[in-house]
Structure 1
Amino acid sequence: MPNERKMQIQIKKEDDSMRRYVIFILVIFSLFMSGCFENIISEVRYESTPISLEYKISYGYYINSSGKGDFNVNYTCFVPQPINGYISNLSVIGNYSYNDLKIGSNRIITWSFDENGRKNIKIGIEVSVKTNAFLVDLDSTKYLDIKNISMDIKRKYCRDQSIENKTLIQPSDLEIKNLAYSLKISDNAFEVAKSIFEWLKENTNYVYHPQQSLPQSAKETLNLKSGDCDDLSILYISLCRAVGIPSRLVRGYLIEEKNGKYIATPHAWAEIYVGFGKDGWIPVECAGISKDIEAEVHQNFGIEDAFHLRLFVDNGTNESLALSSRGVRVRYEEGLKIEMKPFVEVSDVSIGNYGSLVVRKDGRRFYS
């Protein structure tokens, strides 16, 4: 009897195991037939990250003078314009008169005033920001062919641009044009821009050089195969413009957490016109340092995360590009000593939501 009972228990265990196995196979089969299983195995999922932020940011300049004499201050300060969010509670720092202007899509606060002798001046703005991650799908069928992009937009955003007699954006340069056309894999603006982005990631390196007063030209960066965020963005813009894809420079801040504290670092990236996205434009982060090209495309092409805060968007003219680099200017008499120092402070940071970037095989891209 004991042996018979052991045998019955063993048979029951085997029956239970077989039943679970059959149920498992049926579940897998159902998932496969419904398409869910295919989605599971054909997607890339990245680690969770904040996708919405709220914070307060203040920035501007300290201007300290010593000695005797008169001086004049001119300063242009750009107001934040989140691609997917809004600002509130804007206040102007300092007791000097100012102008609140709109130039293109950019809102600016400008100062022009006279002072004399010893002064400790602080001017700038403080504003509350709510921003959310922005992204578009990687399915190229949603985007325009280059030949179908408006000629008005092309004329505005496919030409050379200069600052202080130095041509920075150079789509007309023969070497840049030849390279760009060698990367033109189709007439679809999104596909070609992605091909150029992949070349940029494979053939250039990010190098920080704070001492330079002006960015490198596109040709300089092409020859060096390296540059900072401005330089790499300018080269990318030049290559896109060379094949007829309207492109423009964006400047702002990159919000980062370091040693338990949030800071804002001046940053630059690009936008390209492909007929879909934010009024037809999509962002491109050109200064990523990963050598995983697929990950760079997934995370930096057609995405602007919640840590990017745009202040300035170029309108295609030399005047616009020069304005973005102007900063503060002080003219002063002999006998005065002037010290200028930028400041930027981030406070009251609140993370709204976290999400994992998911990229499907069919090009769909979303946070979950």
Structure 2
Amino acid sequence: MKLCDYCGFVIKDNDVKCFNCRMAIPGREVSEPVVKAAEVQKNVQPVHSTRSLSSYVPKKLIALILVVGLFASPQTQMLLGEGIDYWDEINTPYYTIPEKIVLTYVRNFEIYVEEGNDVEYTLTLSIPGDRPSGSQTDLVNWQTINDLEVSPSYNLTSEGRMEWRNNLSGNERDFITIEYTATINLVRPDIKISDSGFISDIPDDYDLFLQDEWLIEPSNEQVKNLAIQLSNGTNGNVIMILKNIFDYIENNYRYQKSSVPKSCPDTIVGKVGDCDDFSILFSSIARAAGIPAWLELGIIPAFIDTSEGCDLRDWGGHAWVNALVPLNDGTFTVVNIDLANSYFMWMPPYRISDWVDNGNGDDLDSYYYLFSSKGINSQATYKENSYISECDLQGEVKLTNLDLEL
């Protein structure tokens, strides 16, 4: 009896492989014949698959057709349009301006004898108030004043101003403090030239702002000639005339600060001026053209940094123009024009309005002379320390163009 060398299973005499482990038994291997199948010739009609088309159509052309089809689809066009708009948006320079500023403004006056001994002084300041903006049917305040605190108490003048009078001797000093909170909004009306009415639509109630007033001279011959020239071709469209006056001053005059406001002839001849001079000239030409215009006076900061908060410093006096604009829907609105800063019919919230011209030339004149003193060989003077104690920016507007699209 023979056993398998691998598993020990009994191997029969005629076994070639172990029945148990299927291993070949040495000396009993038998080569199996290899049978090759006969080749059969098939007569099959060729079928062109998509792959075989490449032998007739270039692969690059197929890819181009697919890409064109993809880009032509409405869904792709919509996505591409949105992508282009987004790309344009992130690559277009813009200005960031707050919609609103809420600030607390403090003015401290120190009054003392500068020369001599006994002296009487007078300090006169305007009472800051609310300032409306918008059309006749939708008036809102671009400036709202809250929590006005004044120390010491004051006398109210016939012009509605705060007045302090007192006598000082030797080293005596008086201290006066005014503090209030102001909410100031961006002014940027959605008004086009096509929305404007005409000179003939201006109501008679504003005739006071068509007359001569301290330094505002619509009756001056040079001013009248300019008004005629700048009204030509407008058909009396009020916004178009105002824009022509604005462009004339912007393109022909250079900013140069002066100590006191100048007359219109002086500004026209010298071709230089500051905010007061340009506002006076603008108002004069507008009035001569038949458009009511008047000055508004206040303060603006020379230093502005809103990158990491609200840093507004170095406040100083400023003047701009208000003008009446009739609208083609039968209503009217008042627009703001800041010549020194090149703002036509809009204003950022970096400003505080202190007083609005009431049409009385004496009141306008006296605004520029807030302090006076008298005494025998004596005079007093003052120091002012004004600052923002609190400031909060609210909202944000991104403008790609500071000019209004008219």
Q: Where does residue 322 of structure 2 map in the other structure?
A: 271
Q: Where does residue 174 of structure 2 map in the other structure?
A: 121
Q: Where does residue 350 of structure 1 map in the other structure?
A: 392
**Percent of aligned positions that are identical:** 22
Say whether 1:92 aligns with 2:145: no
Q: Where does residue 111 of structure 1 map in the other structure?
A: 164
Equivalent-residue separation in structure 2 for 1:361 and 1:157 (angstroms)? 26
The alignment partner of 1:169 has SS state of coil
Aligned AA (2:190): D
CA apart distance, 1:66: 6.2
CA apart distance, 1:29: 10
More helix by share: 1
Alpha carbon RMSD of aligned pairs, Å? 3.5
Q: Where does residue 54 of structure 1 map in the other structure?
A: 102
Equivalent-residue separation in structure 2 for 1:45 and 1:272 (angstroms)? 31
Q: Is the 8 A contact 2:97 2:348 kept in 1?
A: no
Equivalent-residue separation in structure 2 for 1:19 and 1:195 (angstroms)? 52
Equivalent-residue separation in structure 2 for 1:254 and 1:130 (angstroms)? 14
Say whether 1:177 aligns with 2:224: yes
Point out the structure with max Rg over C-alpha. Answer: 2
CA apart distance, 1:87: 1.5
Q: Where does residue 212 of structure 2 map in the other structure?
A: 160
Q: Where does residue 34 of structure 1 map in the other structure?
A: none
Say whether 1:205 aligns with 2:254: yes
The alignment partner of 2:363 has SS state of helix
Q: Where does residue 360 of structure 2 map in the other structure?
A: 317
CA apart distance, 1:45: 7.8
Does 1 or 2 have the higher relative contact order (CA < 8 Å, sep 6+)? 1
1:157-216 Cα offsets, whole Å, 9 max, x none, are 111122xxxxx111111111011110102212111111111111111111123xx3x311
Q: Where does residue 292 of structure 1 map in the other structure?
A: none
Q: Which stretch shifts more, 353-362 or 223-232?
A: 353-362
Q: Which stretch shifts more, 112-121 or 230-239?
A: 112-121
| TM-score after normalising by structure 1 | 0.77
Equivalent-residue separation in structure 1 for 2:64 and 2:388 (angstroms)? 63
Q: Is the 8 A contact 1:68 1:118 kept in 2?
A: no
CA apart distance, 1:14: 5.8
Say whether 1:22 aligns with 2:65: no
- Out of 273, 278, 285, the position equivalent to 2:338 is 285
The alignment partner of 2:236 has SS state of coil
CA apart distance, 1:266: 1.0
More strand by share: 1
Mark the runs of 5 or more structure 2 residues left unpaired by the alignment. Answer: 1-50, 132-141, 306-310
Equivalent-residue separation in structure 2 for 1:273 and 1:267 (angstroms)? 20
Say whether 1:132 aligns with 2:174: no
Number of aligned residue pairs: 325
| TM-score after normalising by structure 2 | 0.70
Q: Is the 8 A contact 1:49 1:355 kept in 2?
A: yes
Mark the runs of 5 or more structure 1 residues left unpaired by the alignment. Answer: 32-36, 163-167, 289-295
CA apart distance, 1:62: 2.0
Equivalent-residue separation in structure 1 for 2:368 and 2:195 (angstroms)? 35
Aligned AA (1:301): F
Q: Is the 8 A contact 2:113 2:173 kept in 1?
A: yes
Change (3 A) 1:280 1:362: closer
1:15-67 Cα offsets, whole Å, 9 max, x none, are 77445422476428999xxxxx9xx99xx984212231111112253211267
Q: Is the 8 A contact 2:344 2:403 kept in 1?
A: no
Say whether 1:224 aligns with 2:270: yes
